[in-house]
Amino acid sequence: MLVLLKVETDTTLSVPEIGKRTDWQVGQTVVAIGKTFDAEQPNLSVGILSALDRVWGKAIQTDAKISPANYGGPLIDLHGRHLGVLVPLSPDSDGELAGAEWYDSGIGFAVPLEDIMRQLPRWSTGEDLQPGKLGVSLKDPEDLDPEPVVGVVKLKSPAAEAGIRAGDRIVSVDGRATDRLSQMRHALTPRYAGDQVALVIRRDDEELNLNVTLVAKVPPYEHPFLGIIPDRQTGSDKAMVEFCYPDSPAELAGLKPGDQITHWNEQAIDSVAALRLAIANVEPGATVTVAWQREAEPISAQVKLAALPRAILATAPTHKDGEERPDFEVGELEVSVPEVPHAYKAYVPASMQKGHVPGLVVVLPPPGEGKSDDLIAAWKPVCEARDLVLLVAKPADDNRWTSREVDTVRKFIDQAKTRFGIDEQRIGLVGDGAGGAMAYLLTIRNRELIRGLAIRDAASPVPIEAFENEPLTRLAFLFLTHASLDNNSDMEKEMNELVAAKFPVTQRSLEDDSHKLVASDIEAIGLWLDCLDRL
């Protein structure tokens, strides 16, 4: 949320008495004031100062009623001292509607006036303040609060220019200890582009002191492509090759299914996760040395990496059998979550009994359309062929999807992951109409979870610029269009913005002008989903 103030350099500002942080106490009485409805009579709401240092250090929290009725107004204490400016904020998003779900709910935020006054000299020059970015991704993006160990340093970022490397541990920011990601976010999130921060990093047994100037924008990251699908049966044990893309850098270098990749630029590779991390630290067009083992023979080659392909693979990779699981539940099943009154229907292919590692496809149809049984019947052949567990997500109300159901769908996905042993690199959403808007929202709020988003007849409810291509949490897009929408300017704009952000974007024209997915469309979507773990 940007607080806009017009400041004339030749005008003396009348500044209210500012309540100092040292005097604030959680539980003290505060008053939220607005002047929306009557210019002569302000409206107000009384509450308490319920928390400090919220929204990653940017705001204070109050249970007074906060809504558009008083945004921009002051939050004051009983002495009339101005604590902050009331604003819409959310710890999970930065868009114009951030915090809208909490209107008058007892959760409201104010930006401390002390912080605003500190930035007035910069605003008075006409400078726009943008969030400052460092340009690193941490090593364990799926951990809720990992140690701040750098996994990837984005190219041409402040971190790269300062000499930060993958594997470095961020010890402190401006003297503030950062033992976990949450502490690092609290230290960095309030900082703006142009701010200089002092970092202490640990590399091996040495601590280094670095000064880094944050920027508003880091050049978008683009995933490089070796051209393999890793062996899904070995997990983290070995980086085995299950499939080579035709004419890919891997195939041209001589890699074949069954080979074990052992080194990447002299770095030992002992797992698929280690290979994924090593690949993420280079860019398309880079030449790397790859070493692999074929039976007892060591082989190495120089490989020039490509960009991720956009076309859906024409030759389907085959899946190997694993350990037999004759008692594994298969067929049409129900998935339930204890705190949710309704269940979702699922389909688990029989191939799971042969030890195959499944991907997960979550179908979100428009409200009131697409019976679960019909969707299962349509997807069943593809689920069997491509080792995909199908989860049909239906809204609680047949008339609409609501933003509150984002958390509900996430709970069902988590339940399916645990119950069916889902491959976390092959989790995709297929959204249609309002279900597509829901799929967009689910993805942006669970960026660490979703690997593929297939959309039909839907627009993103959040600005596309909110999506950022991350090195360690891959995300691919598939746009399903029909003839009348192939030249739709809004859809073209959305796809172009994603391409500019360096996401792999695929477009498929549907074969049926009635907007229905026919068997060949579902087969193509299934193949696209099955290859989300490509490297």
Is 312 within a domain? no
- Residue 404, classified by CB atoms within 10 Å of its CB into exposed (0-12), middle (13-18) or buried (19+), is exposed
Question: Do 111 and 59 sit in the same domain of this protein?
Answer: yes
Is 423 within a domain? yes
- Domain, as residue range, for 453: 331-530
Question: Do 372 and 445 sit in the same domain of this protein?
Answer: yes
Question: Do 477 and 358 sit in the same domain of this protein?
Answer: yes
The per-residue pLDDT string of the chain (535 residues; one tens digit each, 9 = 90 and over) reads 334 444 444 434 455 677 777 788 899 999 999 877 666 778 889 999 999 988 888 899 999 988 888 888 999 999 889 999 998 887 766 655 566 667 767 888 999 998 888 888 888 888 888 889 998 888 876 667 788 898 888 888 999 999 998 889 999 999 989 898 888 888 888 889 999 999 999 998 899 999 999 998 889 999 999 999 998 875 557 899 999 999 999 999 999 999 999 999 989 999 998 999 999 999 999 999 999 999 889 999 999 999 999 999 887 788 878 788 888 888 999 999 988 888 899 999 998 888 888 999 999 998 888 788 999 999 999 999 999 999 999 988 888 888 888 999 999 999 999 999 999 999 999 998 889 999 999 998 898 899 999 998 888 877 777 788 888 889 999 998 876 554 556 778 888 999 999 999 999 888 766 667 888 899 999 999 999 999 9
pTM, two decimals, is: 0.82
Tell me what pLDDT residue 265 has: 93
Residue carrying the six token digits 């004339």: 8
Tell me what pLDDT residue 333 has: 93
Exposed e or buried b for every residue in 464-487, given b needs 16+ CB within 10 A?
beebbbbbbbbbbbbbbbbeebee
Is 52 within a domain? yes
Tell me what pLDDT residue 413 has: 95
Question: Do 298 and 364 sit in the same domain of this protein?
Answer: no
Question: Do 151 and 113 sit in the same domain of this protein?
Answer: no
CATH number of domain containing 356: 3.40.50.1820
Is 281 within a domain? yes
Is 25 within a domain? yes
Is 315 within a domain? no
- Choose the final residue of a domain: 213, 237, 269: 213
Domain count across the chain: 4
Strand order in the sheet with 297-304: 267-268, 260-264, 287-294, 297-304
Tell me what pLDDT residue 484 has: 59
Question: Do 200 and 96 sit in the same domain of this protein?
Answer: no
Question: Do 343 and 436 sit in the same domain of this protein?
Answer: yes
Whether the CB-CB separation of 362 and 328 falls below 8 Å is answered with no
Contact partners, residue 442, CB within 8 Å, separation at least 6 = 364, 406, 409, 410, 429, 450
Question: Do 373 and 515 sit in the same domain of this protein?
Answer: yes
- What residue type is 516 in one-letter code? K
Is 201 within a domain? yes
Tell me what pLDDT residue 170 has: 93
Contact partners, residue 41, CB within 8 Å, separation at least 6 = none
Question: Do 437 and 472 sit in the same domain of this protein?
Answer: yes
CATH number of domain containing 154: 2.30.42.10
Is 318 within a domain? no
Give the integer Cα–Cα distance in Å for 198 and 188.
11
Tell me what pLDDT residue 11 has: 39
- Choose the final residue of a domain: 180, 213, 246: 213
- Choose the final residue of a domain: 87, 102, 124: 124
CATH number of domain containing 94: 2.40.10.10
Question: Do 161 and 100 sit in the same domain of this protein?
Answer: no
Question: Do 288 and 346 sit in the same domain of this protein?
Answer: no
Question: Do 201 and 235 sit in the same domain of this protein?
Answer: no
